[in-house]
Structure formats: C-alpha cells, structure tokens
Chain A
Amino acid sequence: MATGSHSPRSGGPPRALRGRVSLALLVGLSLALLTVGKLELPIAATAGNALRDAVVPVLAVLQRPIDQLRHGMAELSDLLGVRAENRRLRDENRRLLARDAEAAWLAEENRSLRRMLAVRERAAESPRLTARIVGDSQGTFVRALLLDAGSEQGVSVGMAALAPEGLIGRVVDVGRRSARVLLVTDFNSRIPVVVAGAGDQAVLEGDNSPLPLLRFLPLNPGLSDGDRVLTSGRGGMLPPGLPIGRIMSAGADGKARVRPLVDWSRLDHVVLLDTVPLSEPAPGRDVATTMVSRR
C-alpha cells in the first residue's frame, strides 16, 4: 500500500467548499432531470434516443469479442453434451414428424372451416427484420435490450421481438440507429396470452424476475405444468400464436409463473416482427352480426 505523496487538501478549505457546492449543484441537477424525465416530455424521449444512437456504434464494436466468447462457451457446452443432445433430438424428431402430419390435416380443416364461416384471412406474412443485441440492461430495475437497428432500418415502436424459441419482448423506443426492446420479464410488461390446451386467457406480467407471472386467470383455470403459453393477440398489439414459455408449478407465493422458452445465454440477435393492424370486417360478413340477426 502506498502513502500519499500529495495531500488531497492541497487546495485548502475554499477548494473543499467549492467541491461541496458543486456536488450539491450536480445532485440538484440530477434530481431536476429525474423530475423532468417523469413528465415524459417528447424532448426527453428524443434526447434518450439520441444518446442511444451515439453509444450503439461503440457498443457494437465492443460486443464482437463478447459474442465470440459467448459462441465459444456455447460450442464447448454443445460439445460436452453432444450425445445426450443427439438422443433428445432423435426423440423430438419422431414426435415432430407425427405432429407435422397432424398439423397439415388441421391446417386443411382450419382453411375449410374458415371458408364456411366466412372468417377474414390473416395477413399472409408480417414484415420481419433482424437486429443485433448490443446492449443489455438485465439489471435491477429495467429488463431491456438495446438493438443496433432503428428507424433507418425500418424498426418501429410496437414491433414484436422474437428469439428463435419465441417472443421475448416488444420495441418501446426507436432512434435512428438504435431501438430498445422491453422484455417480457420487465415489471412494465403486460402481454395478453392464452394457455394452449386449457385455452385460459390471461395477462403475462413481468416482475423483473426471470419467471413472469400469469394474472387475471379465470376462476378455475385448467392449466397444468408444462402447458405452452402463447400470445392471444387481444388488443391487436401483438400477433396471436407466438410462443412465449411454459407454465411452471406455482411458486411459493401461490401464483402461476411462466418460464420463457428463450435461452438468454445464447441470445445475440432478435427478429422484429411488424404488427399488422387488423382490417375492418367486411360489411354483412361478420359472424356475430349474422348470428344476432338470425335470432
């Protein structure tokens, strides 16, 4: 340990006083900014986006070695578990082949029923684009990702962000070259979902833990452990049917929680899916209207 060769008090009391005054001023300025930030003025959002735009190119460069490290770790892990993985994939392949045949039959039946009921067709394919994750605030207060694509690349607020396994969040801020995705685990995230199998509608609510909660379930929910949770598409914010996770056994708090399907440790790119607004129903072809008029 070294001793000081230069006294911190070399400037004398006036310097210390100046330091205290400047500290008080800066703390006051920070608190003023916090208050202004709470007002959610458009200028604050613009400034935030400009800051993110400025920092994203630097993060993109720094991210490369970390990506390589992550890929290296993933490859090592794959190598160590290759036999077990092979066995698991064979089993899964058998199951999927059976499901594939069933899905083809169901799709045909679905098309036929839609034609009979005159239900309007869904949009064939929503526009998609891929963005790289360059920043991460998987911290204490906010669960979000920073992407290296913004309005210049066609990103817009409200787009669904998907990992290969399913939905991970929604775009909430867009700059020119950057965008911020609010994850399903963030305490501000609320997503209308449906539990496959049971058919129970609910809202998936983040609480900053890795396992978001299912809220507003029906009185006697028919869900069970391992059931898949999908977006319900209610509200039109997100397309229906996007997988999110699986039901976990009720936690110590007695609430149903969902384990997201995504492997966060391997996530380095996301696919952004544009939300296609539902078109107005064609006059005279609405099923509900038809049923009411028949009574």
Chain B
Amino acid sequence: MSTAAVVNRPDRTLIAALSLLSAALFDLLPLPDPSGQWPAPSFVLCVLFYWTLARPVGLPALLLLALGILLDATSGMPPGPTAVALLGARAASRALRRVLLEQPPFVIWSGFLLIATLYQAIRWALASLALGHIFPLRLSLLELVSSLVAYPIVAALLFRLCPKVRRRASRA
C-alpha cells in the first residue's frame, strides 16, 4: 500500500491517466459475484487516491470529469454525480496528502476510508437528488466496504506495475 512514492515526470502522467482509464473500464465490467448482492468496488476511486498521493499534480481534473460523465452515462444515471464525487475526492485527497505521506499503510488506508466515505456521500446525495429517490444507505455502505477491501490490492498492483516508482520509493 505504498502510495507515497512521489514522481512528477511527464511520462508518469500518462501512466496515471492510463491506469485511471483502465480502472473506469473495470468499473463498468460485469465482474463475477456469486452472491449477486455486493456492489463492485470503485476502482477509479482507488486509483485516484493512489495517484493523488504519489503524483499530486499529475491527475488532470478534466480527465476525472470526463470519466465521471462516462461512468454515469454508461450506467444510465444523469451525468454529474460521479464526476463531482471524483473531483471532490481528488481535492480532499490532495488536502490529506501531507498528513498521509510517510505514514504506515494502515494510516494511509484510514485516509482512504475518509475519502471513500466522502465520495460515497457526494454520490448518494447527488444521485438521490437527480433521480428523485432517497436511496437506502445500505448499498452505499456495501460499495464503501468493497472499495476498502479493493484498495490495498489496487495500490499494491500499481506499485508493482511501475518499477521506476518502486525504485524511487525504496531509495527514499
């Protein structure tokens, strides 16, 4: 869960953007769920949090807006709730970054808990407003739990996928 490797070179922007795009596609794919009850985790949020800590300047807000609209439009929601939630999560992650840097994994994971809660709260509020229905909080909580479970895996995967980031992290 090492999210604190700071790399600010232009080629990393591409890696961050591509991983974010891949995460958005994974959010849309029908993943196997034998129970049929658990909402899939928000991979986009996991990747966004990881890269905001590792590359605070590199995630273009415009890309987040586009991905949010894509996710909403593809799922059949009015465009907007996910985009606002992603932008809010990015701003909050950047604000938390200085506190979370150089902290043990559990503390970073706790930071993710805060961000994921904020993300779910924004989405829930805006989706309820947009669709004119107060959605039960249970499903948002389940998605939150899914994302919390997925985050360490996504972070470890991103850490392994970028050897230069890893080298720099181990040097530091």
A contact residues vs B (CB 8 Å cutoff): 1-6, 8, 11, 19, 22-23, 26-27, 29-31, 33-34, 37-38, 44, 47-48, 51-52, 55, 58-59, 62-63, 66, 69-70, 73, 133-142, 144-146, 172-173, 180, 182, 187-188, 207-210, 264-265, 267-268
Contact = CB atoms under 8 A, between A and B. Distances in A.
B28 A34 contact: no
Given A30-B80, A30-B84, A33-B80, A135 B29 contact: yes
B87 A138 contact: no
Contact of B83 (A4, A30, A44, A69): A30
Interface string B1-41: 01011111000000000000000011011111110110110
B32 A66 contact: yes
Given A29-B65, A137-B74, A62 B29 contact: yes
Given A27-B87, A30-B83, A55 B76 contact: no
Contacts of B28: 55, 59, 135-137, 146
Contact of A1 (B76, B78, B84, B102): B102
B117 interface: no
Given A3-B102, A23-B61, A51-B70, A33 B83 contact: yes
A2 B169 contact: yes
A139 B39 contact: yes
B4 to A, nearest CB: 5
B77 A142 contact: yes
Contact of B79 (A6, A26, A34, A58): A34
Interface stretch (B43-51, B124-132, B150-158): B124-132
Interface of B: 2, 4-8, 25-26, 28-34, 36-37, 39-40, 56-57, 61-62, 64-65, 68-70, 73-81, 83-84, 87-88, 90-91, 94, 97, 101-104, 120, 123-124, 126-127, 130-131, 133, 135-136, 139-140, 142-143, 168-172
A59 B25 contact: yes
Given A37-B130, A63-B30, A137 B76 contact: yes
A100 to B, nearest CB: 31
B172 A26 contact: no
Contacts of B73: 47-48, 51-52
B31 A8 contact: no
Given A29-B65, A137-B76, A140-B127, A6 B91 contact: no
B104 to A, nearest CB: 8
B39 A34 contact: no
B125 to A, nearest CB: 11
Contacts of B90: 23
Contact of B74 (A1, A27, A52): A52
Contacts of A11: 57
19 contacts: A5-B8, A6-B8, A8-B94, A23-B90, A26-B65, A26-B83, A27-B84, A30-B68, A37-B80, A48-B73, A51-B70, A66-B29, A134-B30, A136-B31, A138-B33, A140-B120, A140-B135, A141-B81, A182-B76
